[in-house]
A and B are shown apart, each in its own frame.
Chain A
Amino acid sequence: MVLLEMIVMGLAAGTIYGVMALSFVLIYRVGKIVNIAVGDMVLLGAYLIFAFSGLGLVEDPVINLILGLILASIFGLVIAVGTERFLMRPLYGQSILSLIMMTVALGMILRGATIVKWGTVLRVFPGQHEVFPPIPFTIGPIEIPYVYLWSITGAFLIFGSFLYLFRKTLFGFAMRAVSLDPEAAATHGISIKKIYTYTWMIAYVAAFLAGLVLGAINGITVIVSYLGLARALPAALIGGLDSPGGAMLGGLLLGLIEHTVGTFLNAYIPGIRAIIPYIVLLVVLIVKPYGLFGTVRIERV
């Protein structure tokens, strides 16, 4: 029963790793940018949700928090436009390295901005104890913390709507077309810059959702940003860097292993739980260099 509970916990935690990996993978897939700032986007999201729900626009704490998430996401869209327009666009056509360095800079700026605005004191969401009660939620014999219910629902919503967008709509085809051959896409009236902007928007919203969950679990401090990067990166790599579906499965796998193998081993080797993701990553990359679901390029001669 303990094992079953651990599996459920692992999968639940995995959903949020998957959402962060999705944010990372999207930017990589469409813009070929390795987004080191993903953790800081998560952190910014946590603080923005904290700030917006702190306004106390609605009585009910749950709706208040959801409203905070929505307002923060709208704010995130604006930041996404700014990120694309002023940080990334001047660098298109430059080397991959300068783009990566720019995301490092973006991360520093975002993290620095949160410290300037909110300081380094640990914060919690308004109404944290009502929204995420300390007593776990029970389904039959299994007990899981409330926050994971949020993570599962949120991940399901964002991932479902994204997959629909990506696979079934003209917008999704255009997005994939840009990721495969920007020049050819442009000749069909697809504006590359707009597609890049939309991609950043989705990435920000996904990261903000992760910010809500990680902020609720750990409290809102700068740690969230390190945690975000440290989980998003291996999940994305395990899934194969350019596959959104793989990102989610990578996240689930990571959460699962962390909460089962990691927890077991932690009794014998204290602290190993933190590096389990990287051991998994190592094994996966050795066996399948493209990751589990990464694209192996079709090459015709």
Chain B
Amino acid sequence: MLILNNVEVTFDPFILVVKGVSMEVPEGSIVAILGANGAGKSTILKAISGVIRMERGRVSHGFIQFNGKRIENLPPEEVAKLGIIYVHEGRSVFEELTVEEDLLAGLYGRRSLDPKDALEFVYNYFPQLKRKRKLKSGLLSGGEQQMLVIGRALISKPDVLLLDEPSLGLAPKVVTEVFRTIKQINESEGLTVVLAEQNVRKALEIAEYGYVIEGGRVVLHGTAEKLIRNPDVQNYYLGIGEAGRISYQDVKSYKRRKRWIS
């Protein structure tokens, strides 16, 4: 169980980005964090993983708890050792390593696992990677690189996977494939997944619960079915609604915000 309680994140020295977010991620579930660009989705994931420390940010208020242990402001490698692996957005492969070496680099934090078994475990979910295992990872296609970074996170058998925009810059078909695999792993391994996404439709297809973030605050949360039926979500994120498409010119920004809070 991963719990965020009233978490505030400030970046060097007082730029408040996340303004009191509370969340609960039950074990074995997929939870989506939804929102537009700059809403603070990535920052929340980075706060959990400790990566914000490398970007001169810190959790200045509230706490993050994982299985009863406080983990806010721990260095990223410590968080990783607890079994929480963060996957950067934008496919941060180690370009000059081969696919196999790239995957094995992910095993460094958990050297007790057998490298051969661990590799097979990943190839089982991503057979494409096995075929290209001797290739430099910088030369893979975008979708394969996304699979590689997810595989690299999986190889150390984490308990929680923090996925930052896995759909970024991928073709819709590839997005479907990646998401299907994530769901599959979640079901068969009992892996907890926190997914930050702009692609609301796709995210809610696999997630059980969702949090909508705007301007660093949770403005709406609920089960996936509830969110997808919510008229505001339909209007603003899915582009559909009872009245068909609405013109954004007609929507005053203050009105928009008011609706969210109500």
- Where the two chains meet, the residues of A that have a C-beta atom closer than 8 Å to any C-beta of B are 93, 170-171, 173-174, 176-177, 180-192, 295, 297-298, 300
Contacts and interface: CB of A to CB of B under 8 A. Distances in A.
Closest 9 CB pairs of A and B: A189-B109, A189-B80, A298-B138, A184-B92, A177-B105, A186-B76, A173-B105, A174-B108, A180-B94
B51 A188 contact: no
B87 A176 contact: no
Contacts of A186: 51, 54, 75-77, 80
Given A171-B108, A187-B86, A181 B97 contact: no
B61 to A, nearest CB: 24
Contacts of B152: 188
A183 B97 CA distance: 16
Contacts of B97: 173, 176-177, 180
Interface string B76-99: 110011000111100010111100
Contact of A170 (B75, B85, B87, B107): B107
A298 B54 CA distance: 25
Contacts, number: 91
B43 interface: no
B104 interface: yes
Interface residues of B, number: 36
A170 B86 contact: no
Most chain B CB atoms below 10 A, which of A170, A173, A189, A297: A189
Contacts of B156: 188-189
Question: What's the dominant secondary structure at chain B's contact region?
Answer: helix
Nearest to A92: B54
Contact of B96 (A182, A189, A295): A295
A181 B76 contact: no
Interface string B102-139: 10111111110001000000000000000000001011
Given A177-B94, A298-B139, A183 B88 contact: yes
Given A170-B107, A298-B95, A188 B54 contact: no
A189 B110 contact: yes
A184 B138 contact: no
A177 B152 CA distance: 12
Nearest to B109: A189
Nearest to A188: B106
B76 A187 contact: yes
A90 B72 CA distance: 23
Given A170-B104, A298-B138, A300-B138, A188 B95 contact: no
